[in-house]
Structure 1
């Protein structure tokens, strides 16, 4: 089967390495994701095409596609009158990714608040740790900036 999507090998390899690290996914999942980045026409790529193009076993491709679907990095669609599933980059993932980042920052701020309450309940004097307070300000500032950008997405 001929490749339907033209790729640049250097960009592809850079993307495989980058997304493998950023998303903490296995190499084959990273290759699938990186390959889909080159689907500029948004035609989608079928399971069989991945098996052929990536020279991987069906079970490996299946496992890694499932991982990407569960992580919401990719989505799938069935075209009318076809049984084949076509896979695409999830365009909403950028928003989902930053929402998760904001959630982690909120969680960290809550952890600091819980520690402060615990310290106070244990009778420790309330002291202001300037570095922690600056860090909390930075978290709040970044939450606000990211939220403003997310609202534009």
Structure 2
């Protein structure tokens, strides 16, 4: 058995696995790999072989799940100059990427609401209560977009 590069707290690890599985819609092994990397506080990097060993998983399963995490931009990999091994880390830019995607979705929703509003007007649908509620909703979206963008600028 290989020596682990990092120390984890089993209970926090299990909570993280559950959270990542739900939050990022990840399969179990990908959630475990990402959660394990969260404990790499010193950024030593975790090797492919360590994942295979720690999770007693096949190389193909680990490989598939690492590719999924790389494609989702949740993790990054680095080749150290003096070694052939790849080291994996959480992507420190991911929080920013994630919230930029959220802002884009809210902006897309605002555009859709506006197009629907124009279409309703064209069809001469008059529903003051609906219009008022949509304005409140649009205002909520706009405030959240501004709030998130201001926070992103600080990251």
**TM-score, scaled relative to structure 1:** 0.96
Q: Provide structure 1 residue ranges, at least 5 long, that are not aligned to the other structure.
A: none
**TM-score, scaled relative to structure 2:** 0.95
1:129 deviates by 1.8
Instruction: Give 3-state SS (helix, strand or coil) of 1:40's partner.
Output: coil
Instruction: Give 3-state SS (helix, strand or coil) of 2:87's partner.
Output: strand
Aligned mates of 2:80, 2:15 — CA distance in 1 = 31
Count of residues paired in the alignment:
153
Q: How do 1:3-152 residues align onto structure 2 when only pairs under 5 Å count? A: 3-125=4-126, 127=128, 129-152=131-154
Q: Report the aligned-residue RMSD.
A: 1.2
1:122 deviates by 2.6
Q: Provide structure 2 residue ranges, at least 5 long, that are not aligned to the other structure.
A: none
Instruction: Give 3-state SS (helix, strand or coil) of 1:82's partner.
Output: coil
Aligned mates of 1:125, 1:147 — CA distance in 2 = 34
Aligned mates of 1:64, 1:98 — CA distance in 2 = 23
Residues 95-143 of structure 1 deviation map (CA, whole Å, 9 limit, x = unaligned): 0010011011001101101101222233334746222111110100000
Residues 42-63 of structure 1 deviation map (CA, whole Å, 9 limit, x = unaligned): 0100111100011111111000
Q: Which moved more, 1:89-98 or 1:121-130?
A: 121-130
